[in-house]
A and B are shown apart, each in its own frame.
Chain A
Amino acid sequence: MVMVTSMPDTPIAPLAAERLYTNCDLSDLRFETTATLPDLDHVPGQERALEAIRFGAHMRRPGYNLFVFGPPGTGKQNTVLAALRDKAKGEPAAAEWAYVHNFQTAHKPVAIQLPVGRGRELKKQMGQLVEDIRTALPAVLEGEEHQKRRQAIEDTFRERQEKAFEKVREAAAGRGIALVRTPMGFAFAPMQDGEIQDPEVFAKRPVSEREQVQRDIEELQEQLAAVIKQLPRWEKERREALRTLGRETTAVTVGQEIDDIRAAFSDLPQVMQYLDAVRADLIENVHTLLGIEHAREQQEQGLVGPAGPGGAFNRYAVNLIVGDGASEGAPVVFEDHPTLPNLIGRVEHLSHMGALITDFTLIKPGALHRANGGYLILDALKVLVQPMAWEALKRSLNARQITIESLGQTLSLISTVSLEPQPIPLDVKVVLYGEPLIYYLLNHLDHEFGDLFKVAAEFDDVMERAPASSLVYARLLATMARRESLLPLDRAAVARTIEHAARLADDAGKLTTRLEAVGDVLREADFYAREAAGITIAADHIQKAIDAQIRRADRLRERSLEFIDRRIVLVDTEGSAVGQINGLSVIDLGGFSFGRPTRITARVSLGGGKVIDIEREVELGGPIHSKGVLILSALLASRFGTENPLSLSASLVFEQSYGGVEGDSASAAEYFALISAITEIPIKQSLAVTGSINQHGVIQAIGGVNEKIEGFFDVCQRRGLTGAHGVLIPSANVRHLMLRRDVVEACRRGLFHVYLIERAEDGLTLLTGLTPGTLGSDGRFPEGTLYRRAADRLAAFARLRRAFAASSTVADESGKDEHGK
């Protein structure tokens, strides 16, 4: 065995404690409490998004609707709402819309557009008209004048009828024949002494007399038949005369009322046209409607069958679907539940005597109606998950009109006749908001999306952290505190919150713009401050709120640490071992994530140069993890496979990992474990590693660096920090460090260390204490280096393999017969 003795020339120093946590400089915060800070009227760090929103809002061309996207909690909805409300204030109020009865085609209600405030007036006046007619007209119709005219008509026609019959009666009487009423009509019979003659007596009369009587009766029957034939025509004339009388009476009563309304709306041709139709319909149908009302009263007493919804005079109602008369500026509507009916409106039905009935008064507006002439804000995901809502929204924007259709009608599931309200012209700016994935998917999958939503406004989840931005962030915190009636924050509390915002951003040089998370800390800190009878929120309250959030969420972390303490999960933090290294992973629980060390092991044997990723073999490894393993395989081959084929078989495994493994942040650790396994040089178990590695051996940045360091720190601390413990992280991650104070303090005291590594060789040096060596001009690594040992071992594998291959060939040859078989 060759002894490896090469030691590194300059040992890699751990990071200074000051670089593990970037404090907020209190000198940047020149105030005592946030109470003295003015409000911030925008969310900082979203200038690009706000610029896009402003452009989209001002661009009044078809298709320039907005899609605002960004991570959740960045205040997209509130920002858009505030920006649009601000703009809408200076714009004219939207027109009002009403649905009225269509007197020509009842199932197609007519939409009427009215200037602001006039809709309510029309509705009121029409309601008054109906009330007046309801009370005044019956009185007029029951009045002396009308009744006398009606009686006169009845008398005239009755007299005409009676005279006609009387004439026949007299003609019959002149011939000694009686006209007799029968249950169904009339009949003639001979008379004697003013009475119907006894048939038996009649039979005894001479034949000639009897025949004459029969002839007379036949003639009289013809006269009577002529009269009877006239009856339907007289009846029709009578009805027409009565109808004309009714129309005349009604016209006088209705005319004045309608004229008053006409005078008030003479500037609106559509309303004038409607009022003309109302007048004509009232004159024609008011008697029928009054009759229906009477029938309804009886129906309510259980005397007759069903009628339509509402009163019979509902047909003259005005269903004002848009217009409260009090709007200032253009409407800005946020629809939180964008179902199809909530979006485009719906026609409701009433259950009446077991049947569903409707009319135009049951038309309900949707968000598009309410936002017409202004702005509509919708959550894209909510629109997409509601059946047919997305299609309806696109259809409305494309057609630039709102057509109310139920889901059943849209899908052609129902064939019953329902209302078809007249479509209403649409002029609205729609603002969708959602996560970036939705935006990209829609862009990719829906060819109409790009045409309808031409303006994208992307919200960032972080903003730059600089001395100037600290004060801006402080104003943001001040605004949030004021809006939610929280106690003001003192300067130290602001500083601590800013530091926490950097931690949430996973970057010491950035601040999170996910204001919901920051808001939670403020609200909870306010709770603790009030509990302590404080008048301001102090840094301690902020810290207490942060700690409490972690405490509430870290049951799993505690359990994980407990398993390691009890050596149920095997993690060594001292000593050294060959082919074994402490990797670091992050468990994300949604609102809370924590790091955890995981033992990674590597084994090598003679083989065909393949590195087996056991995680992938059992389908527990994700594609990115597999990619990392393949990259390190390529790195290994490029380092040591240029002269001899790699003749080893290596296996890598995350020990005691029973869930999936994803990401390439362990690829550097896997490489180190593999080198250790090949060289049989042990790795220090007091260190843990995170970082991905590329084909050139460069260590690349990873995510969750703070959680990973803290995860290993927690395990080591529970076992007792010795000063040998530490974590190797990619040097690119140094700017992300915002470690917990206890970790920073331990580092300051030299009990724990964070090392930056740029290349794989840096890590190997720290982990083994040996120099890996660099390839010389002779194509070989220097004697005594780690890589030389690895190369020698791999060369030995290659020789063994060749020898094995040769002996196998001889064995095969000796087994053949004279024919070579």
Chain B
Amino acid sequence: MTQEDESRRPFERAVVVLDAVSGGIAALEAASAFAEAMARRLDVLFIEEESVHRVAAFPFARELPLRESAARALDATTIARDLRMAAERARAAVETAAKTSWLEWRFEVIRGRIDRTLAEACLSGTLVAVEARQGLAIERMLTAGAGAAAGSLLVVGRRAARRPGPVLLHCDNSGVAASAQALARRIARESRQPLLEIGSLGDFLTALEIPHPQLRPWRPGATAVPRPGIAVVGRTAWPSADHLGLVLGLATCPVLMVGQGTRQ
């Protein structure tokens, strides 16, 4: 990559937020791909959820492992060991991904709350990748404090699968519409995929195969749009946190929400 290309990258860094629960491998893969093409560095934040530490502090705390039916006593030592193992696994995965892509990378373990970490990471010139999962109320975070942040957010939903496909852009009238469009065009060009620009939010959701009776009657296969590889939308385009929650939870492809601090 030439110096000129390097300087024209839309992000200074890509941040992927991982935790011990979801693992976040899908987010890591998406972030690595973006970092390789759009950002200069990959930062990985592994969150040791504060609430987990706090649970272990109760004297009667017990854990029901998913692979066992019998509960076991939970204490600080056990939790610390399990979190350390999860972090080590995540680090190994990051190393492998970074080696494949020749990425400059950094791995950091943070004890705190994932929503706050996300909000803090969403700075101007940053792309933050995260895996949506049950219990992780990204939509609330985005529509609350982090919603005003300048960074862009790449959310890989539970139904999202990484596959080649057109770049789906929701064209709204928000302040980041131009940035979103520029970024979508660049992604389409680099991935050699067509760019599909959709003005209606309902059509946009239909293309993402998101059933929502309030927006549009759900009709499987009603849209003629091929399954997208990625959806691009401005962060402020959402009528409500519920809509956003639906999108993040049910979209069949990763959704890139472009913030104001994205270089065009």
Contact = CB atoms under 8 A, between A and B. Distances in A.
B69 A228 contact: yes
Nearest to B163: A142
A180 interface: yes
A160 to B, nearest CB: 13
B159 A155 contact: yes
B60 A182 contact: no
B111 interface: no
Contact of B71 (A144, A152, A199, A225): A225
Nearest to A169: B135
Contacts of B110: none
Given A182-B82, A183-B85, A224 B221 contact: no
Interface string A159-196: 00010011000000000001011111111111000011
B144 interface: no
B51 A228 contact: no
Interface string A194-219: 01101100100000000000100100
A221 B135 contact: no
Contacts, number: 97
Interface of chain B: mostly helix, strand, loop or mixed: loop
Interface string B214-234: 000000110000110000000
A151 interface: yes
A145 B226 CA distance: 12
B168 to A, nearest CB: 15
B99 interface: no
Nearest to B22: A181
A677 B82 CA distance: 119
Nearest to B60: A214
A145 B220 CA distance: 10
A195 B49 CA distance: 13
A154 interface: yes
B116 interface: no
A185 B159 contact: no
Contact of A180 (B52, B68, B71): B52
B55 A148 contact: no
Nearest to B136: A181
B51 A196 contact: yes
A158 B221 CA distance: 21
A190 B79 CA distance: 18
Interface residues of B, number: 38
Given A196-B54, A225-B71, A184 B83 contact: no
A165 B86 CA distance: 23
A151 to B, nearest CB: 7
Contacts of A158: 158
Contact of A229 (B51, B60, B69, B220): B69
A148 B82 contact: no
Interface string B28-53: 00000000000000000000010110
Nearest to B48: A183
A437 interface: no
A149 to B, nearest CB: 10
B120 interface: no
A148 B221 contact: yes
Contact of A187 (B55, B209, B226): B55
A16 interface: no
A184 B55 contact: no
Interface centre among A158, A181, A182, A224 (most CB of B within 10 A): A182
Given A162-B134, A189-B55, A199-B58, A182 B63 contact: yes
Contacts of B226: 144
A165 B134 contact: yes
A147 interface: yes
Given A151-B252, A162-B134, A180 B55 contact: yes
B61 A189 contact: yes
A221 B62 contact: yes
A228 B64 contact: yes
A144 B227 CA distance: 8
Size category, A interface: 35 or more
B54 A198 contact: yes
Given A147-B227, A148-B221, A158-B158, A224 B54 contact: no
A225 B135 CA distance: 19
A565 B241 CA distance: 127
Contact of A221 (B51, B64, B68): B64
A675 B85 CA distance: 115
A413 to B, nearest CB: 45
A213 to B, nearest CB: 8
A12 interface: no
A231 interface: yes
Contact of B69 (A165, A198, A217, A225): A225
Contacts of A190: 58
Indicate the member of A154, A181, A231 with the most B CB atoms within 10 Å.
Answer: A181
B159 A151 contact: yes
B66 to A, nearest CB: 5
Nearest to B55: A189
A183 B55 contact: no
A799 to B, nearest CB: 119
A199 B54 contact: yes
A465 to B, nearest CB: 89
Nearest to B50: A196
Contact of A182 (B58, B67, B74, B221): B74
A574 to B, nearest CB: 104
B204 to A, nearest CB: 18
Nearest to A155: B159
Contacts of B159: 151, 154-155
A145 B227 CA distance: 11
B79 A182 contact: yes
B135 A181 contact: yes
Contact of A189 (B49, B58, B70, B135): B58
Interface string A118-152: 00000000000000000000000000110110011
B134 A186 contact: no
B63 A187 contact: yes
Interface string A622-641: 00000000000000000000
B224 to A, nearest CB: 10
Given A225-B64, A228-B66, A183 B134 contact: no
A343 B154 CA distance: 67
Contacts of A144: 221, 226-227
Given A148-B220, A217-B60, A231 B158 contact: no
Given A154-B159, A182-B74, A229-B69, A187 B54 contact: no
A228 B159 CA distance: 22
B20 interface: yes
B54 A185 contact: no
Contacts of A202: 58
B71 A221 contact: yes
B152 to A, nearest CB: 27
Interface in A222-261: 224-225, 228-229, 231
Nearest to A181: B21
Given A158-B158, A189-B58, A221-B71, A184 B65 contact: yes
B112 to A, nearest CB: 13
Given A181-B52, A214-B60, 13 more contacts: A151-B159, A166-B134, A180-B52, A182-B21, A182-B63, A183-B52, A183-B79, A183-B86, A184-B63, A184-B82, A187-B56, A189-B54, A228-B66
Interface of A: 144-145, 147-148, 151-152, 154-155, 158, 162, 165-166, 178, 180-190, 195-196, 198-199, 202, 214, 217, 221, 224-225, 228-229, 231
27 contacts: A144-B221, A147-B227, A155-B159, A165-B134, A166-B134, A178-B51, A180-B55, A181-B21, A182-B52, A182-B55, A183-B83, A186-B63, A186-B64, A187-B62, A187-B63, A187-B64, A187-B74, A188-B55, A188-B62, A189-B51, A189-B58, A189-B61, A190-B58, A196-B55, A198-B54, A199-B54, A225-B71
Across the A-B interface, the 4 shortest Cβ-Cβ residue pairs: A183-B20, A183-B82, A185-B65, A199-B57
